[in-house]
Structure 1
């Protein structure tokens, strides 16, 4: 007998997993033969071909939308190895070896669509809802875009059209205004600009026409005198020479007044900033005009001026004495020209408080009131315009150029004062002149 053999140990039964399937250990797992590509074991057989061994249980159930039935494996020559053949619209993934060469492809077929009637009905209902929703959204978008285009692009196009009209010289162009938003405010501003441009253009045309008329009148008189002498109708004597000289002087005065009015309008400040006595300048201008006023039979009342003129210290203003003297001369000349013989001129002056917010607390107020004829109320705002006259009473027959009051207003505005015209209690015109007084006055 040989040596006694050790007793054989009976192998332990395989442990089962939670699903009741036996779990094989790695050392007991049988090796399979290599697959067709030589890289590993072949894929497991389908569920219906698996062996139904004792204790193995039913095969696992796969969902109808599972991805595994749609997979397929191709070799390097595009031949199907296992799984589903490639189909149009499917996905493909190249498999490469360690040397970087393609050894096969993994393909995924596209889904076969909805498989149940309930799914098809559900999908059809939702597709109809989506279609109607899309159509409603499209209609709403079209309506909103049309409203926005009319709301925003319409006013912008109107403004562009109006701007082109203004650029082409159609100053009567206006744009419609709708609402109170920013575009409406822009349209109102555009219309205001167009009105101002139209007014400026009308004033320019009227001014040019008035200048041409003023120049044409003495030139026509001179032409008639010269032609009469040339035709032998009138001899060239001292009277003819005097008439021609008078017309030439009128032209010179008109050109000088035009130049003075333009210079005064462009003056933003007096040429000489020195303290001056305005009432003394007014007294000098009145003294030079008294002989002519007396010759015209116009009485002068200075009772309201003498008291302030004798005040110590005298009121002072900061400005140009020569320009202010010219203002007083022009105002007195205006009263002399446009007051009927036997009329009356009343001059008064006083110190009054300046409006709130003014740079100087006190202003000097000078008033000149003359008797008839007067100026209609609707023409009062225009008497300070260049070459303007109230033709019913104050016309060219008096020899004025229509520029004196315009020059006066420009000079007074340059001195920080005001010049206002209104009806006079005496039946003529009242001119009210205000000038800011200096804070500290000296005798």
Structure 2
């Protein structure tokens, strides 16, 4: 038994739904034909009785009312017969029974001159029932025909409910004088009626079957087109699950499936980028760890081979390499620390004081490099009031030190570092905004989004003489975000890099 896929389930559901709609449509169509055939035939029949309407209007004009018809059933019969007895109307004219004249010179046989077609009036309609009256057949139109006056009060003929009858108004000028009512036939009494309904029902059924086939074909084509894209997404997800992060799916159109396809491609591209970054990060970590380990191995092998003696200088060199290795491990752990990782509880602190302390520790190095340090905006804000926040003072101080070290490592000699500080206030919230602007060299626009990645250095070299391990800005981002703030990088007006730090405040003092 074939597997019942989602495509087949939806197609079968549509097929059942369309079949049910076809059966309902055919049933109601047949029921409508059966119930509507009688009123429809009655409307046709009464519209063909305009000759009777003319006779009734003539009668009303002559009599002035309907009293004669109301009180004398024979009068209603005579009006239906055109004002004549039924058999008298059916007898041939007297001139047709005369023998032809024997005088050969006389006029040819024919009707009297006063009854020639060019001179006589149109004859009344033929008798409605040749057997002698309109009431012979129980299904006759005259058994279902009635007359009411202008107020729908019964006058003559059958007593028909006006709500179900076909109506033919009788008017004298603009005045309504009465209405002919004709009751519809009840049910399908004749073979002709049943044959008509059967033909119409057959037509409706075949039309519905044709519509069902077309609808099923369109449903199958549309479902196949839609689920082809879903199958492509499924196959793409399977390739990603197998580790083939270069998998992409084709995207067509602007509908929800196209949006899903674009989202999948973005996700796969992001995963591919993360995987590439992970591999590069592992390679960079291995490279960073190899340097102190190689130096320590060389020192130890020289001691083992007797090339060097273990003295205070050798011990100092080994100690420096061990400290360098330990610092690298600590930096890696700090850059990977998440906000919810176990850390000391936050306490009230003054971020401006921490920043000024970090600047004081490095002011001499700025002077040695010939880099001008401008912190006047910071001093002005600190003199006015001290913003207060909750956090880890040690980690935030380390983040400020990393930002300052970044400027010392990459700013050219004779450059400048300008630190701006201000407080942004919103209803119910305050933020401390710090801006670190340094001079050339700058960072290429394409490298700005990667500045906060672990082990990334904009100069493209792994030579530690040009900078640190490439973890300083990654540590800053992890620390700032752990405090509920944000950090961004952009080109500086001084020609270098602008780092913007935003920290949430509790208040000022």
Q: TM-score, normalised by structure 2?
A: 0.54
CA drift of 1:258 comes to: 0.8
2:336 touches 2:478 (CA, 8 Å); kept in 1?
Answer: no
Tell me, in whole angstroms, the C-alpha distance in 1 between the residues paired with 2:428 and 2:264: 34
Residue aligning to 2:224: 150
CA drift of 1:373 comes to: 3.0
Tell me, in whole angstroms, the C-alpha distance in 2 between the residues paired with 1:270 and 1:310: 32
CA drift of 1:233 comes to: 4.6
Tell me, in whole angstroms, the C-alpha distance in 1 between the residues paired with 2:307 and 2:376: 55
Superposition RMSD in Å: 3.3
Q: Which has the higher contact order (CA 8 A, sep 6+)?
A: 2
Residue aligning to 1:177: 251
1:422 touches 1:430 (CA, 8 Å); kept in 2?
Answer: yes
2:334 touches 2:478 (CA, 8 Å); kept in 1?
Answer: no
Q: 1:334 aligns with which of 406, 420, 430?
A: 406
Tell me, in whole angstroms, the C-alpha distance in 2 between the residues paired with 1:176 and 1:164: 15
SS of the counterpart of 1:366? strand
CA drift of 1:399 comes to: 5.3
CA drift of 1:321 comes to: 2.3
Residue aligning to 2:508: 441
Residue aligning to 2:383: 310
Residue aligning to 1:296: 369
Tell me, in whole angstroms, the C-alpha distance in 1 between the residues paired with 2:414 and 2:258: 59
The one-character-per-residue Cα deviations of 1:113-154 (angstroms, maximum 9, x if unpaired) are: xxxxxxxxxxxx9xxx99x98997897477436513522331
CA drift of 1:320 comes to: 2.6
Tell me, in whole angstroms, the C-alpha distance in 2 between the residues paired with 1:161 and 1:248: 50
The one-character-per-residue Cα deviations of 1:203-249 (angstroms, maximum 9, x if unpaired) are: 22221111111111222222233334444555544433333222221
1:409 partnered with 2:477? yes
1:278 partnered with 2:346? no
Residue aligning to 1:261: 335
Change (3 A) 1:394 1:285: farther
Tell me, in whole angstroms, the C-alpha distance in 2 between the residues paired with 1:369 and 1:228: 47
Of the structure 1 ranges 338-347 and 406-415, higher mean CA displacement relative to structure 2 is found in 338-347
Q: TM-score, normalised by structure 1?
A: 0.61
2:457 touches 2:470 (CA, 8 Å); kept in 1?
Answer: yes
Residue aligning to 1:432: 500
Change (3 A) 1:220 1:280: same
Residue aligning to 1:250: 324
1:335 touches 1:370 (CA, 8 Å); kept in 2?
Answer: yes
The one-character-per-residue Cα deviations of 1:89-113 (angstroms, maximum 9, x if unpaired) are: xxxxxxxxxxxxxxxxxxxxxxxxx
Tell me, in whole angstroms, the C-alpha distance in 1 between the residues paired with 2:211 and 2:437: 78
Q: 1:372 aligns with which of 435, 440, 446?
A: 440
1:339 touches 1:372 (CA, 8 Å); kept in 2?
Answer: yes
Tell me, in whole angstroms, the C-alpha distance in 2 between the residues paired with 1:251 and 1:198: 30
SS of the counterpart of 1:310? helix
Change (3 A) 1:181 1:305: closer
Tell me, in whole angstroms, the C-alpha distance in 1 between the residues paired with 2:211 and 2:490: 69
The one-character-per-residue Cα deviations of 1:28-65 (angstroms, maximum 9, x if unpaired) are: xxxxxxxxxxxxxxxxxxxxxxxxxxxxxxxxxxxxxx
Residue aligning to 2:127: none
Residue aligning to 1:319: 391
How many residues get paired?
A: 310
Tell me, in whole angstroms, the C-alpha distance in 1 between the residues paired with 2:491 and 2:408: 17
Tell me, in whole angstroms, the C-alpha distance in 1 between the residues paired with 2:210 and 2:217: 11
Q: 1:346 aligns with which of 401, 418, 438?
A: 418
Per residue, is there more helix in 1 or in 2? 2
The one-character-per-residue Cα deviations of 1:337-377 (angstroms, maximum 9, x if unpaired) are: 223344333223122345xxx851x3222222233333222
Of the structure 1 ranges 327-336 and 219-228, higher mean CA displacement relative to structure 2 is found in 219-228
Tell me, in whole angstroms, the C-alpha distance in 2 between the residues paired with 1:247 and 1:332: 24
Residue aligning to 2:263: 189
SS of the counterpart of 1:327? helix
How do 1:53-132 and structure 2 match up within 5 A? none
How do 1:195-206 and structure 2 match up within 5 A? 195-206=269-280
SS of the counterpart of 2:263? helix
1:293 touches 1:299 (CA, 8 Å); kept in 2?
Answer: yes
CA drift of 1:165 comes to: 0.9
Tell me, in whole angstroms, the C-alpha distance in 1 between the residues paired with 2:462 and 2:294: 22
The one-character-per-residue Cα deviations of 1:369-390 (angstroms, maximum 9, x if unpaired) are: 2333332222122111111101
Tell me, in whole angstroms, the C-alpha distance in 2 between the residues paired with 1:272 and 1:135: 75
1:277 touches 1:315 (CA, 8 Å); kept in 2?
Answer: yes
